[in-house]
Structure 1
């Protein structure tokens, strides 16, 4: 029994040590918030996106992100009639946003994937070193993030477990 107890304490210490390295700090959170603001500022440069709204989602919103994790953002377009945004329009908007981000010197390592199931623009923020993934009208991703956030508020060990598993 003593061996089991000792093994448990060793595992607990090891887990805490790993979490202390991968869990984000307030500075990591602030960098992501500033990276979101960079996207908002770039959207204003694309005339037809003036009324679009930037909504972070994914691990950042669910509070399950690691220091090295990326930032997922959905640009929500104004939709007066409630019809889904076509894949072609999403691709066009992401192309224009890519140009704006590059012209502003915000993005490096830009990778535009228009043919993905969910078209995405990937880049690294020059100012904050955060990898960013931008999609358009990604409502399903936003909902999943909220559900995971709610689960993580029930028991903080869930978040620790997700961080440990996703960091492997």
Structure 2
């Protein structure tokens, strides 16, 4: 049995930190509009940034984040424990013969994109996405998950 745990859970503080970039961008755009075009600023111009901020908040708070990933060799299944900020811990169980792993490696000199993203699939349907920023897993840990899946003969698709 191989188990991979995340070291930190996602909290409201993390959500505020992640959303602060959006808040700063909206504040800068709003300041520019206010300085150069004060007559264009109406109550309706508050609605769009507010909706964008709420959407960003909701998207980040509702993302399913990994708590634990276990390759159970006794039962021959992959067990995922995950939660979002809005939910308790839930689990997904996938038998080895139905599980697939898609590996997406970004080859970019910019560090904007995720260097390695894993998609855990049930046959051809995506069940869970793992990456460094969302799940707080190091790239080495993600690579170890791929090696473990290879060792257990779980099909791996490189993209």
Superposed pair shares fold, TM > 0.5 = no
TM-score, normalising length from structure 1? Answer: 0.26
Computing the radius of gyration from Cα coordinates, the structure with the larger value is 2
Which structure: greater helix fraction?
1
TM norm structure 2: 0.27
> Which protein has greater RCO, CA pairs closer than 8 Å, 6+ apart?
1
